[in-house]
Amino acid sequence: MKKNIVLTVLMIMTAALCFGCAGMTGSDDDTKRHTGPASVPGQTEAEETEPAEMTETSSSPTPEPTATPEPTPDVDTTAPFFINIIRDAYLTAGDEFNIDKFISYIDDRDSEIDLVVSGSVDPSVTGSYPLSLTITDDAGNQTSDQITVHVVAPQEGGDPGDYTATSTSNATPFSDFCGTYEGDSIHYGIDVSKWQGSIDWEQVASAGCEFAFIRAGWSSQGQFHEDEFFVANVTGAKAAGIAVGVYVYTTDNTVEDVQALADTMCDLVDGYDIELPIVFDWENFFDGFQKYRLSISDVNDLYRAFRERVRERGYNSMLYASKFILDVIWEDEFVEVWLAHYTANTDYQGIYRVWQQSCTGSVPGIDAYVDMNLYYGTLPGGN
């Protein structure tokens, strides 16, 4: 009887073990059946036992989140540079020596640059004094150069007097200028200020002048001074059927001052119905520019502020600059440009609207040298 009981128990245990082995070595379908999501509260029992539809990615591991890359440090590696340096500088004995009269420098970011001068000058003793110069920005970038200051004895003969602006010797006739640069969508014009004196605008128009940029005045340290011939020139040119724009020479060095200047310009031209832009002329880069405490970035911000204020007032603006300054100072974003480059054929690669080709022109109706300009594209107003 015990044998039968033992045998029966052994048979039951063997069967249980075989069932467990069958469950552990089941098919892939059985494995997938148990990898679905946990039961959702509210599901019926029938829903819970329904096999879940699996996809290729349902059993893939959750990808690790991509780490946000650290921003690349904005490292200043550009050295300041000399815009102008007079390597052989002359000083009259007895005059005060100021190094800033002989050098001009700028940095891309920093408004104040350290200058170290090695050597000395005795302005009371004639002779030659070599100096070594090093300029350094806030990041430690440096540029070095040398100049020699020659202290010379005073020249006899006294003051040669003021320069007479009414000379036109060796001037290029306006008619020759127009004939040299013929072409479609090219227009011929001039720019004038008080230095040209009283102008006969009817004669100017008859000579073929189609447009004129007229100096409104100049501004420094937030103070504007109107050109004494501005009103006469604007009214005379307009009456002669010449398209008119205005320009202002400035050394203002704050955003607030150039915004105020823009308002002044707009107020000044209101009522004249000018056809051409209001031109921003910041060009004093060669005469101790460092005294203005401006970086290249700062200068560009000045024109942006001026341009935006002029635009808000309903006028267009333009930037005046030489080829060199356009290449090294002004940003390429400024495309309404008045280029100054005194050469037969400019090689400036940027975009420009007006080219000031010469400063020694001769135009009927003007008894002085005149700047001569070419305007490219459709000329608003005019003859």
Is residue 218 a part of any domain in this protein? yes
Considering the domain architecture, whether residues 177 and 127 belong to the same structural domain is answered as: no
Q: Identify the domain boundary among 98, 122, 152.
A: 152
Considering the domain architecture, whether residues 224 and 319 belong to the same structural domain is answered as: yes
Burial 106-120, CB ≥16 within 10 A → b, else e = bbbbbbebeeeeeee
Coil vs helix vs strand at 202? helix
What is the pLDDT, as a whole number, of residue 73?
77
What is the pLDDT, as a whole number, of residue 20?
38
CA-CA distance, 78 to 74, in Å (whole number)? 12
Considering the domain architecture, whether residues 110 and 223 belong to the same structural domain is answered as: no
Is residue 164 a part of any domain in this protein? no
Is residue 291 a part of any domain in this protein? yes
Is residue 278 a part of any domain in this protein? yes
Considering the domain architecture, whether residues 263 and 358 belong to the same structural domain is answered as: yes
Considering the domain architecture, whether residues 115 and 222 belong to the same structural domain is answered as: no
Considering the domain architecture, whether residues 211 and 330 belong to the same structural domain is answered as: yes
CB 201 within 8 A of CB 382: no
Q: Identify the domain boundary among 118, 152, 186.
A: 152
Considering the domain architecture, whether residues 148 and 179 belong to the same structural domain is answered as: no
CA-CA distance, 317 to 263, in Å (whole number)? 12
Coil vs helix vs strand at 147? strand
What is the pLDDT, as a whole number, of residue 10?
33
Considering the domain architecture, whether residues 361 and 225 belong to the same structural domain is answered as: yes
Q: Identify the domain boundary among 152, 180, 210.
A: 152
Considering the domain architecture, whether residues 148 and 274 belong to the same structural domain is answered as: no
Is residue 12 a part of any domain in this protein? no
Is residue 251 a part of any domain in this protein? yes
132 lies in which domain range?
81-152
What is the pLDDT, as a whole number, of residue 166?
57
CA-CA distance, 233 to 240, in Å (whole number)? 11
What is the pLDDT, as a whole number, of residue 65?
74
Is residue 353 a part of any domain in this protein? yes
Considering the domain architecture, whether residues 181 and 306 belong to the same structural domain is answered as: yes
Considering the domain architecture, whether residues 115 and 263 belong to the same structural domain is answered as: no
Q: How many domains does the chain have?
A: 2
Considering the domain architecture, whether residues 269 and 134 belong to the same structural domain is answered as: no
Q: What is the pLDDT along the chain (383 residues), one digit of tens a residue?
A: 433 433 333 333 333 333 333 333 333 333 333 333 333 333 333 333 444 444 444 455 667 777 777 777 789 999 999 999 999 999 999 999 999 999 999 999 999 999 999 999 999 999 999 999 999 999 999 999 999 999 999 988 655 454 445 567 789 999 999 999 999 899 999 999 999 999 999 999 999 999 999 999 999 999 999 999 999 999 999 999 999 999 999 999 999 999 999 999 999 999 999 999 999 999 999 999 999 999 999 999 999 999 999 999 999 999 999 999 999 999 999 999 999 999 999 999 999 999 999 999 999 999 999 999 999 999 997 55
CA-CA distance, 52 to 49, in Å (whole number)? 9
CATH code at position 285: 3.20.20.80
CA-CA distance, 351 to 332, in Å (whole number)? 8
H/E run at residue 21? helix 2-24
What is the pLDDT, as a whole number, of residue 59?
53
CATH code at position 131: 2.60.40.10
CA-CA distance, 109 to 92, in Å (whole number)? 36
Token representation of residue 280? 């921003």
CB 337 within 8 A of CB 321: yes
What contacts 268, CB < 8 A, 6 or more positions away?
216, 226, 230, 246
Amino acid 127 reads: G
Is residue 166 a part of any domain in this protein? no
